[in-house]
Structure 1
Amino acid sequence: MHHHFARNALSRAMSLALLGMAATPAFAQEQPQIEVPAPVPAPSRAQEPPSVPSPQSATVDEATRLDSIDVVGYFRRSIQFSTEAKRDATGFTDSIFAEDIGKFPDLNIAESLNRIPGIQLDRDVNGEGLNVAIRGLPNSFTKTVINGAQVATASIGLNAQNQNREVDLNLFPTEFFNQVTVHKTPKASLLEGGVSGVVDMRSARPFDNPGTHFTYQLQAEENDIADKISPRGSAIGSWTNDDGTFGALVGVSSARGRIGVEGYETVGWTNPGLNYVQCGIAAPEGVDPLSVRPSECNAGGGGNWLIPNVVPDNAATRAAGLTPGQVIDRDLLLALNPGLTIDQISEALIPRLGRPVHMSGDRDRDALLASFEWRPTDDMHFYVDTLYSEAHRTNDRIDVNLVGRVFGPSGLIPTDMQVDENGVVTDATFTNAQFFLEARPYVEDVKYWSINPGATFWFGDAGSRLDVQANASRSWMFRESPTILVNSPFTTIDYSNTGDVPTWDTDLDLNDPDLGWTWAGGRVNVQNEKRVVEVAGARADLQLGDDGRNVKVGVAYDTFERRIQGFDNSAAWQEYVFANVSDAELASFLRPGPYGFITGDFDSFKEATDYYRYRDEAPESAGPNTGGSTGGISEDVFGAYVEINGETEVLDRLLRFNAGTRWVTTDQEISGPVTIGGVRQWQTLTGDYDEWLPSFSAAWDVADDVVLRLSGSRTMTRPNPSSMLPNTTFTDTTAQVASQGNPNLVPYTSTNFDIGGEWYTGEEGLVGLTLFNKRVEGYTYQGTTTMPFSQLGIPYEDLESYQQDAIDARGGPDVATIVVNQQVNANATLQIQGLELIWVQPLTFITEGLGFMGNFTKINMEPSGPDADVLEGNLYGIAPKLWNATAYWENDAASIRLSYNWTEGTAGTGPNQNGIPYAQIIGEDRGQFDLSASYTFASLPSSPQVTLNVINLTGEERRSNFYYDNAVNDIYDPGRTVLLGVRGSF
């Protein structure tokens, strides 16, 4: 805590110094008279949006000034809007604009952001972009706002968890947005919460394009794995009255999508856990040599594959020539696997659950946007923005597993096994092998709504104004995910791992419902998950001066609440199923599957086993099957800031700057279920902290077409709510050691420095270089904290009597100390250094409308401090290199562009996976081609534009490995998606 106080004191000192540097020249210069051509007749200042400018309504009052736009083609115009906005920004920002309402240049907002330097896209297993990470930090360090208000979503991906503060962008139709800006350096007036940056999404409003307009878009989508055509479409209408005082915009969007994913998963790899007899070591006196598996026999860790102690009695082992009941010792293992040593056998790596996996289902989404603006005078502007989105998603996920881990009576017995130099098994014959079908027909519903009213009041002759705004949003999700798991008879298989993934040959027909599938060792689950996220806030911003030179002060109040609950009724449903569906009857609920193994007749099985009653009666559990924990967090945040924007001249060249500081205080309540004394109850823990966040940016026009930039700042991200949930348990009878979440975690904070510049080469062209450095503190790890019992938040009277006696013997609740295992902030600093290159180049000297754009990012991370080793193990998921490029050509009627995005592979987890010290999950390099083309029939009503989009043109897969290249961890093929459509406007 002392260290935290010292950092705050330093921040306050930095704030005062920066303000002192900036205050003197803020109003020292006379305001220049600038005439800027606008793409439409410039409306009065009352027609201006209060904060984020629109390319359709540029005026000299805006902080961002757009030069004359004369390029042809909607994509080139979007690039030029972005180029001009970057040029006129003071800090380090990148923007993407829609050329017109409903004409965002990409199908997915996350995909659009992927074209910005320093952005790493997080894709779901079906290839869809979910959320973004910025400059070497996880996506939970990215703050997302819509029209200046923070966004939180309850949705999760197909294989994602979203246990932190990520925002799934696929819930929002791109057609509803006119501009997305990534602020890589902060301003005091920006909402805090993003150490790495802020993604600011601006929804369409009627005065973005005054008059009466209607746009439509219809598309047919087909994925070559889902193999079904799905429709999607949108319509947006806007109107403003003749005197420019009132406007309305309403948009609807609907998508009926299908997913198709083929893949292979392993749930990690494992090796044998040999007992004393199997590795040939004498057991100590009194130790059972068959049941104990000592570390001397398993020097490489792991050991989740248990070779049976004796040969099981089944048809497979007898057919393999083994004698049921024979002890499997060292000599037998060596005889069955000639050429291998016992050490090689003990280190042999196979998948824990090698399984082909297939996903198919619906991805439906309906959304509504409404925006109203009222401008009764030139000095007043009122608006209300509303957004509603709901998604219905299903996923019939089925996989068939070769059991490599410990599972009931099974345990592979290896014969003729071969391994490579890393111990990975390349060939083998396994007897006593067993498969199980795992079927999970997910059903998920997600809803999101928000309302954002506000007003702007102008006063004085200098363009001073007051902005006030309120916001409220709620996101809700419910997922049910039953599991049906049945086992095959035992068999002998030929196993091979010499291609992309391990394969097997078996005499069993795994696609035969009458094979002899059994409940023995199987299970059924009924598991539900409910999430609710609510956000509300209000803010007021006072600007004294025009947009070029001003002092701004503001206050903000925000609340954030999130609750995750798991529900589980598996034991009761399984008891009913096993009692009412015999092995003989089981086959009637199985069907041949489309992928070479059986699937389930889910509807008839649910009806026959009273599934829906058990689903609806499911009691609350410790957490859902996505890996989260049941619990909730409530945050109340108050913020205030002062900011100065100014202009001056240095060496007869314009220097623009922004300086300020933001102060925020956060009060938290974290609650979750705990069981003390056999009684389950919800416990609430509290915490609070405050931060000073100074920032300074300057942009110097050193030449007519060259801008140099400099920025220094401090940013913050609030800690992971999942690390603060109570979940209090005692691990000993004397109540001396407990496990609990930590409500006193302080935020992640980063001290940032950026330097760079751009050369603007004409039209949409630019060449830019940015060097950045971040020093991040606040990373967490599993540590210990010693505190008096009274600080645990547990009533003394709820303890067992023997625990009360133990605490009394140590001095009572206020004196007796408890060692608490919990997440704590590491005493370490992560230094992130990187560079970003961007090049946008029109090639009109070759042919009109031709050009390319590309960028490259390189990131290096280095921890330091006493806990640097701990921090090193938590650095994963961020690619050290990434780049993308787009070639485009457009004229009055036709356009085509081809994009390629490449991300270097990186570790997805820390080491020690499955108990194997060196093992990490490492993603492979991946590149993806996307194609977009259109042709406009300008002579027809509404000027219809026929569009063609191809996502993942070459059908690239996504793959990760269990440390070694030939030990695949998982691989997913999302297929190629083709969209053919038409859009137009009146």
Structure 2
Amino acid sequence: MNNKKHFKLGYLSSLVMLNLGLSTASLAADSAVAEENKDEVEVIVVSGIRDSLIKSKDIKLEADTIVDAITSEDIGKFPDQNVAESLQRITGVAIDRKGGEGQLITVRGMGPEFTSVLLNGRTLATTSGGRAFSFDIFASELISGAEVFKTQAAHLQEGAIGATVNVTTFKPFDIPGFKAVGTAKAQYDEMTGEVAPQFSGLISNTTEDDKFGVLFSFAHNERKSRYDSANTAYYWHTDLTMDDGSYYDDIYFPQNYDQIAQSEERTRTNANLVLQYKPSDNLEFTADALYSQYDVEYRQDILAHWFTKDQLTDVEVDDNGTLVKLSMGKGSNSDVLVRQSDTRNELLALGFNAAWDVNSDLNLSFDVAYSEAKSDPKRGTTDTVASRPGDYTYDRSSGAQLPQLTFDRNNSASGLKAGWGERFGYIREDDVLEAKIDAELMVEAGPLYKIGFGTMTSDRTLASTRLRTTRPLPWTWGDNSAAIWLPENMFSVYDADGFLSGGSGAPEQSWLTFNSEDFFDYITSADVVAQLDDPAGVQQLLDDNDGFTMHAVPWNYEINEKLFALYTDAYLEGEIGNMLWSVTAGLRYVKTDSTSNGFAVPLLDLIPSEGKPGFVNAVEGDDYTPVTVKHDYDNWLPSINAKLEVMENLITRFAYSKSITRPELDEMSPESGYGGGDVTQLTGWGSNPKLMPFESKNLDLGIEWYYDEGSYAAIAMFQKDVDGYLSTEEVEEQVTVPSGTYNYRISRPVNSDQADIEGYELAIQHMFTSLPAPFDGLGIIANKTFVDSESTADEADNPLPLIGLGDSANLILFYEKDAIQLRVAWNQRDRFMQSKPESWRDGHYVDDYAQVDISGSYDINEHLTVFFEGINVTNELYITTAKYSNQYLDITETGPRYSVGIRGTF
């Protein structure tokens, strides 16, 4: 992966391709952040694929920085289900999917935590638990466009080594007069065979004198879906000694194998209100409010098998040391597991902006914004296990994606005993208050024609509260000396009906299931409690803690972060020979103060598990110690963006900047603790409130050729030298508790690594307007991003990519002629690392993934349009693995989804 010679030769050959006219250009372009650059071209409503792409191209051509963007084809009309899905069409942008829907974005190989997401130039709170913004909370129908700033300028808010994404919404002054738009559609999910409604609307009006305007938009989406997943949590990197004395050194041992069928209902409701007032030609006020509510309710029916070394009776290991076949005996179990969850996510964003053209030379802008996000687990996610004693085998030696299982398949409801049971969840709250003042002064000083300057202050607090059932209730029934047998009438047969039909192998198609609430009710009944080893003690725990309800535990934290920034940009332009040039040079200073509040969690004891030999359960004390840590640092961030028009319609660009990304907020908590588990693999953990930001020096070069209306080709090269990249520091520690002395491996994040990222982007957008009718409606968009990295964490025989780093590509064919619009979009992302290696396991990777989406529409008349959409029409599987390709961690099938609908514009 780190063959630099090959990488640079590829870059040079691509430059040659550009000169031959075979290079490519970006999917779309962009404008500067509206509230920060009032003199830039404002959002103009466009209609249709072709007009949207032409507008994006024009803005890209005029932009001072290197920016790509998407714009709505019409009011309330984006071709994807959320903004992340649309952003992935842009060169260099890739997405992480959850449940088949885009959630987080990666830009130029830098993961979601390296991307800042703004709404109309303002920071958005998020329910992700960190800085990464979860786009699935946001319906695309409310959006007018989104810009991806790939290079930095002083006026852009710091915090993004990867990119700054600015999502824009419609304003009434953008749509003079009266406008009303409504869309209704029905979405069919092939995995469930069910149809769910989706509808959206927008109404906007301005007064005749254009002094006052009001806009209201809303969207309501429902989705009923099912996901099938074959899951192994991780592969231990360990050794193994069998009872017969045979020894296996340095093998990869799967922790478990679960077949998970998840039924899910998602309901998303968004609303946006914007008021604008212009008392005079040089003064404009804007007030806006956005609200989103996103409910996710799911049920998982799981056939589960847990593997432990002490219960192995036979194993088979392949050439790379992966355990591909095993037999379990010695008191092992086949489990049926049920998880039920209902979570509500809410986002509120409020803003006020005043823009004042003081005179022809001076413009001022004042902006204040507040946003808050909350994730509420309600009653919590249940985790309930019923076990059937018996031997079983697991066989993946054939090379199929799904293993062959041999176990008691009779689906009899007799002979199942109570195992683990708990509720758990997180309450996450994030709120951001920020204000800024911007000014632009026109000057006449040689090539210097404008100076921009401003200041910003921000106050952000992220709080995470972990909730769970009080210990030791979860394992009491499963670890009882006598099995607690469950009644037969609690169970029914779950028909998986074509489980993971898109994968290879022969998975189970039915297993027993039950209801989590029935499970809790039965095991807490007086008759069952009387069968326990300590009935009085357990009953007291139940009474004191209201049974299997959730309670806050010490693993809670609150991070407050205050920012203060000053910045200035100088805008210069001139001419060399017949070549026009422009330069934007700036400097941003920012000071960061953080306060981290959390707890140190005491470990009272480790209790051996009756159900899992060789495993222990951690008992934590209630007398935990509050910890507060303060931290501060400041950064000077220079930037320069230069543009040279070598000849008409041929642009070259150069950019250099220094940027930062602050550590994820959850990594800055002061909490620490010890876990239970396999006594040979005990781990403890801690965060690090003294983490410093990642610092990157960035270099960008680009050539853009705008050879026809709506058509262009481009190539760009980028390099990022990142210092302070996080690694895991691990310390061996012996812990003594009443039950004995145990060896722990304690880990926490530290700033220690340095990483170099290099890449280049190729893109083309071409409209075949010179072809004879009706083929002159054809068009193509193609782009490819190549990314490579080197890191001080690399080992000679095992170079490691950075998280999220991987090549990506798009190919979009479209046709627009008269009343007809058609589009086929192929999006591809190469294998990338999803989580870092640990001492006891290797890194986790997402395999190559390619998805095909289709859409089309027909304009019945100037007011009504009918349309259809297809998502993941080829039913691609989403696969994650450990180090080797046959070490499957998760294979998920989400299935295709199809929609039909009607849109009205008045």
What TM-score results when the alignment is normalised by the length of structure 2?
Answer: 0.82
- Cα pair distance change 1:49/1:671, threshold 3 Å: closer
Question: In structure 2, how many angstroms separate the alpha carbons of the residues matched to 1:496 and 1:639?
Answer: 56
* Alignment partner, residue 133 of structure 1: 106
- Cα pair distance change 1:575/1:179, threshold 3 Å: closer
- How far has the Cα of 1:726 moved from its partner? 1.4
Question: In structure 2, how many angstroms separate the alpha carbons of the residues matched to 1:739 and 1:127?
Answer: 32
- How far has the Cα of 1:279 moved from its partner? 2.2
- The correspondence of residues 358-397 of structure 1 with structure 2, limited to 5 A, is 358-397=261-300
- Cα pair distance change 1:229/1:278, threshold 3 Å: same
Question: In structure 2, how many angstroms separate the alpha carbons of the residues matched to 1:511 and 1:730?
Answer: 39
- Cα pair distance change 1:194/1:592, threshold 3 Å: same
Q: Which amino acid aligns with 2:185?
A: Q
- Cα pair distance change 1:784/1:441, threshold 3 Å: closer
- The correspondence of residues 580-599 of structure 1 with structure 2, limited to 5 A, is 583-595=484-496, 596-599=510-513
- Cα pair distance change 1:844/1:500, threshold 3 Å: farther
- Cα pair distance change 1:212/1:690, threshold 3 Å: same
* Alignment partner, residue 101 of structure 1: 75
Q: Is the 8 A contact 2:384 2:516 kept in 1?
A: no
* Alignment partner, residue 381 of structure 2: 481
- Cα pair distance change 1:720/1:178, threshold 3 Å: same
- Cα pair distance change 1:524/1:428, threshold 3 Å: closer
The answer to whether structure 1 residue 491 and structure 2 residue 491 are counterparts is: no
The answer to whether structure 1 residue 933 and structure 2 residue 888 are counterparts is: no
* Alignment partner, residue 440 of structure 1: 339
SS at match of 2:249: coil
* Alignment partner, residue 621 of structure 1: 553
SS at match of 1:120: strand
* Alignment partner, residue 368 of structure 2: 470
- How far has the Cα of 1:685 moved from its partner? 0.4
- The more displaced of 378-387 and 567-576 is 567-576
- Cα pair distance change 1:227/1:699, threshold 3 Å: same
SS at match of 1:597: strand
- How far has the Cα of 1:221 moved from its partner? 0.8
Question: In structure 1, how many angstroms separate the alpha carbons of the residues matched to 2:891 and 2:262?
Answer: 13
- Which structure: greater strand fraction? 2
Q: Is the 8 A contact 1:65 1:84 kept in 2?
A: no
* Alignment partner, residue 758 of structure 1: 704
SS at match of 2:384: strand
- How far has the Cα of 1:518 moved from its partner? 0.9
Q: Which amino acid aligns with 2:855?
A: S
The answer to whether structure 1 residue 670 and structure 2 residue 596 are counterparts is: yes
Match of 2:420 among 520, 523, 527: 523
* Alignment partner, residue 766 of structure 2: 841
Deviations 1:161-204 (A, max 9, x none): x4531100111111111110000001111111111110001111
The answer to whether structure 1 residue 889 and structure 2 residue 809 are counterparts is: no
* Alignment partner, residue 172 of structure 1: 138
Deviations 1:612-642 (A, max 9, x none): 984895332244xxxxxx2110001000101
Question: In structure 1, how many angstroms separate the alpha carbons of the residues matched to 2:549 and 2:334?
Answer: 32
SS at match of 1:593: strand
Q: Is the 8 A contact 1:256 1:364 kept in 2?
A: yes
* Alignment partner, residue 584 of structure 2: 658
SS at match of 1:83: helix
- Cα pair distance change 1:274/1:494, threshold 3 Å: closer
Question: In structure 2, how many angstroms separate the alpha carbons of the residues matched to 1:419 and 1:577?
Answer: 35
Match of 1:923 among 843, 846, 854: 846
Q: Is the 8 A contact 1:576 1:609 kept in 2?
A: no
Question: In structure 2, how many angstroms separate the alpha carbons of the residues matched to 1:271 and 1:891?
Answer: 58
- How far has the Cα of 1:559 moved from its partner? 1.0
Question: In structure 1, how many angstroms separate the alpha carbons of the residues matched to 2:162 and 2:778?
Answer: 34
Deviations 1:915-946 (A, max 9, x none): 36xx443332111111011111016xxx2111
Match of 2:641 among 687, 690, 697: 697
- How far has the Cα of 1:772 moved from its partner? 0.6
Gapped runs of 5+ residues in structure 2? Answer: 1-31, 497-509, 525-541, 604-620, 676-683, 737-744
* Alignment partner, residue 767 of structure 1: 713
Q: Which amino acid aligns with 1:279?
A: G
The answer to whether structure 1 residue 456 and structure 2 residue 355 are counterparts is: yes
Q: Is the 8 A contact 1:110 1:132 kept in 2?
A: yes
Q: Is the 8 A contact 1:528 1:615 kept in 2?
A: no
- How far has the Cα of 1:760 moved from its partner? 0.6
Q: Which amino acid aligns with 1:963?
A: K
- How far has the Cα of 1:271 moved from its partner? 8.3
Deviations 1:825-844 (A, max 9, x none): 21x42111110011000012
Q: Which has the larger radius of gyration?
A: 1
Gapped runs of 5+ residues in structure 1? Answer: 1-47, 54-60, 155-161, 281-296, 303-348, 624-629, 732-737, 786-799, 801-818
Q: Is the 8 A contact 2:491 2:513 kept in 1?
A: yes
SS at match of 1:85: helix
Deviations 1:432-456 (A, max 9, x none): 5531112111111111101011110
* Alignment partner, residue 793 of structure 1: none
Match of 1:557 among 437, 453, 457: 457
* Alignment partner, residue 886 of structure 2: 966
Deviations 1:759-808 (A, max 9, x none): 012121110000111111111223489xxxxxxxxxxxxxx9xxxxxxxx
Question: In structure 2, how many angstroms separate the alpha carbons of the residues matched to 1:379 and 1:657?
Answer: 28
The answer to whether structure 1 residue 90 and structure 2 residue 52 are counterparts is: no
- How far has the Cα of 1:506 moved from its partner? 3.6
Deviations 1:396-426 (A, max 9, x none): 01221223235xxx72322xx6554334455
SS at match of 2:89: coil
- Cα pair distance change 1:546/1:768, threshold 3 Å: farther
Identity level (%) = 24
Question: In structure 2, how many angstroms separate the alpha carbons of the residues matched to 1:541 and 1:834?
Answer: 34
Q: Which amino acid aligns with 1:778?
A: G
Deviations 1:211-263 (A, max 9, x none): 11110111111111132111011111001000000000011111111221112
* Alignment partner, residue 611 of structure 2: none
The answer to whether structure 1 residue 777 and structure 2 residue 723 are counterparts is: yes
* Alignment partner, residue 545 of structure 1: 442
The answer to whether structure 1 residue 907 and structure 2 residue 857 are counterparts is: no
- How far has the Cα of 1:573 moved from its partner? 5.0
Question: In structure 1, how many angstroms separate the alpha carbons of the residues matched to 2:674 and 2:195?
Answer: 55
* Alignment partner, residue 564 of structure 2: 638
- The more displaced of 593-602 and 112-121 is 593-602
- How far has the Cα of 1:100 moved from its partner? 2.8
SS at match of 1:722: helix
The answer to whether structure 1 residue 207 and structure 2 residue 173 are counterparts is: yes
The answer to whether structure 1 residue 688 and structure 2 residue 632 are counterparts is: yes
Deviations 1:490-526 (A, max 9, x none): 0344735425334335462363323x1112xx21012
- The correspondence of residues 55-74 of structure 1 with structure 2, limited to 5 A, is 62-64=39-41, 74=48
Question: In structure 2, how many angstroms separate the alpha carbons of the residues matched to 1:444 and 1:77?
Answer: 40
SS at match of 2:591: strand
SS at match of 2:389: coil
Question: In structure 2, how many angstroms separate the alpha carbons of the residues matched to 1:275 and 1:598?
Answer: 34
Question: In structure 2, how many angstroms separate the alpha carbons of the residues matched to 1:111 and 1:892?
Answer: 27
- How far has the Cα of 1:900 moved from its partner? 0.4
* Alignment partner, residue 734 of structure 1: none
SS at match of 1:300: strand
The answer to whether structure 1 residue 749 and structure 2 residue 695 are counterparts is: yes
Q: Is the 8 A contact 1:206 1:373 kept in 2?
A: yes
Q: Is the 8 A contact 1:65 1:85 kept in 2?
A: no
SS at match of 1:175: helix
- Cα pair distance change 1:134/1:507, threshold 3 Å: closer
Question: In structure 2, how many angstroms separate the alpha carbons of the residues matched to 1:577 and 1:66?
Answer: 62
The answer to whether structure 1 residue 850 and structure 2 residue 778 are counterparts is: yes
The answer to whether structure 1 residue 299 and structure 2 residue 226 are counterparts is: no
- How far has the Cα of 1:600 moved from its partner? 1.5
Deviations 1:587-614 (A, max 9, x none): 3222211220112123544556679984
- How far has the Cα of 1:277 moved from its partner? 5.8
Question: In structure 2, how many angstroms separate the alpha carbons of the residues matched to 1:445 and 1:91?
Answer: 38
Q: Which amino acid aligns with 2:390?
A: F
Question: In structure 1, how many angstroms separate the alpha carbons of the residues matched to 2:119 and 2:558?
Answer: 24
Q: Is the 8 A contact 1:879 1:903 kept in 2?
A: no
* Alignment partner, residue 647 of structure 1: 573
Q: Which amino acid aligns with 2:460?
A: F
Q: Which amino acid aligns with 2:134?
A: D
- The correspondence of residues 37-56 of structure 1 with structure 2, limited to 5 A, is 51=35
- The correspondence of residues 348-363 of structure 1 with structure 2, limited to 5 A, is 351-363=254-266
- How far has the Cα of 1:820 moved from its partner? 11
- Cα pair distance change 1:851/1:774, threshold 3 Å: same
